[in-house]
């Protein structure tokens, strides 16, 4: 049980990293989105994954050789899927708005990142008490996400920034399709961890610790994801001719780029350790926990930094309701993990 508690604690840390990593986007006003995103992605690609893998996994090259090209390609494909999902995320929100877009995509990511791999790799578990409890927990989580999306919609309306896709050049139905594509593709991050299990097993055989085995997987997944994000941002920089904005950035901008580059992959790396601590079905239960905490931490950070200033009691009440529901979902997810491992 202590291992499960440690795993849940690590998920909280990982979720906070994922919920807060993009805060730099709002702290670098002299840069365009693509400037901070490119630097953050580039740092995440170079600084975090490969040094961790190379220094913590003995004979890393042999580990990959023993795992086979099929497993490596699958891990890279899942990382690329995750990266493309992020690109469609932005396009989808621009077309349908934050409230509907975030609700739909988070629901899909949760289902495709948790229930879908469980149905594929452990189908019999779905009809057990643990599997059914997991399904209930995800339903509760989705309700909480919808409540928080309603709060966000009210907040934007009250602050004069209501969702309005009239300025988007993308038709609403196409934007809806983008949201669905993003929700499905973004779940690739958890599939990458699951299909990369042979890499972790071979890392152990070559002397890697249980904590370090995930780094051998993430180095591949991160490379594909952040490579796509870096390339996409570079295209935008060239298209918008915003390369010169880098020179206008203040010293703090580079701190935020570094923070993003460390927190984004760092949170996922910690998640991998947490999932391993939570037992055989940790990857299926810890993933929705990760998303849940990232939603909570991101919204709490927004409240602390004044994003909810000037809003009504109604919108803040909806936010509180959403937070309570997500906390309940977190507890139910812990129960699901307990039932699945008994």
Residue 72: its pLDDT value, please? 97
Q: Judging by beta carbons within 10 Å of its beta carbon (0-12, 13-18, 19+), is residue 136 exposed, middle or buried?
A: middle
| Cβ–Cβ under 8 Å, residues 98 and 163 | yes
| Cβ–Cβ under 8 Å, residues 275 and 192 | no
pLDDT tens, N- to C-terminus, the chain (342 residues): 578 889 999 999 999 999 888 888 888 999 998 999 999 999 998 888 999 999 999 999 999 999 999 999 999 999 999 999 988 887 777 677 655 677 778 788 888 999 999 999 989 998 899 999 999 999 999 998 888 888 877 877 777 755 444 445 667 788 788 888 988 999 999 999 999 999 999 999 999 998 899 999 999 999 999 999 999 999 999 999 999 999 998 999 999 999 999 999 999 999 999 998 888 889 999 999 999 898 888 878 777 777 777 788 898 899 889 889 999 999 999 999 889 887
Distance between CA atoms of 235 and 215, rounded to whole angstroms? 29
- The dihedral built from the CA positions of residue 319, 321, 322 and 327, taken in this order, carries a sign that is positive
**DSSP H/E element including 222:** helix 213-240
pTM of the entire predicted model: 0.87
């Amino acid at each position: 049980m202590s291992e499960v508690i440690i795993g849940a604690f690590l998920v909280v840390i990982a979720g906070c990293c994922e919920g807060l990593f993009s805060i730099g986007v709002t702290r670098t006003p002299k840069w365009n989105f693509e400037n901070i995103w490119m630097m953050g992605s580039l740092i995440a690609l170079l600084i975090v994954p490969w040094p961790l893998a190379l220094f913590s996994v003995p004979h890393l090259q042999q580990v990959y050789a023993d795992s086979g090209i099929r497993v490596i390609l699958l891990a890279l494909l899942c990382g690329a899927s995750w990266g493309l999902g992020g690109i469609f995320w932005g396009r989808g929100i621009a077309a349908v708005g934050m409230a509907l877009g975030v609700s739909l995509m988070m629901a899909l990511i949760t289902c495709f990142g948790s229930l879908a791999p469980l149905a594929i790799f452990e189908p019999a578990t779905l009809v057990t008490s643990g599997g059914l409890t997991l399904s209930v927990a995800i339903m509760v989580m989705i309700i909480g996400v919808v409540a928080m999306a309603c709060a966000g919609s009210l907040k934007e309306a009250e602050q004069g920034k209501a969702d309005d896709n009239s300025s988007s050049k993308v038709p609403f139905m196409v934007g809806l399709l983008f949201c669905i594509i993003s929700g499905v593709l973004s779940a690739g991050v958890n599939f990458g961890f699951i299909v990369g299990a042979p890499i972790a097993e071979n890392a152990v055989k070559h002397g890697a610790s249980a904590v370090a085995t995930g780094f051998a997987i993430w180095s591949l997944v991160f490379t594909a994801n952040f490579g796509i994000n870096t390339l996409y941002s570079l295209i935008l920089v060239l298209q918008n001719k915003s390369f010169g904005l880098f020179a206008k950035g203040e010293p703090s901008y580079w701190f935020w780029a570094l923070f993003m580059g460390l927190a984004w992959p760092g949170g996922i790396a910690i998640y991998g350790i947490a999932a391993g601590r939570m037992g055989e079905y940790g990857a299926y239960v810890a993933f929705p926990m990760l998303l849940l905490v990232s939603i909570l931490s991101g919204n709490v950070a927004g409240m602390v930094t004044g994003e909810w200033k000037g809003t009504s009691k109604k919108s803040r009440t909806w936010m509180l309701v959403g937070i309570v529901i997500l906390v309940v979902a977190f507890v139910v997810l812990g129960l699901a993990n307990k039932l699945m491992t008994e």
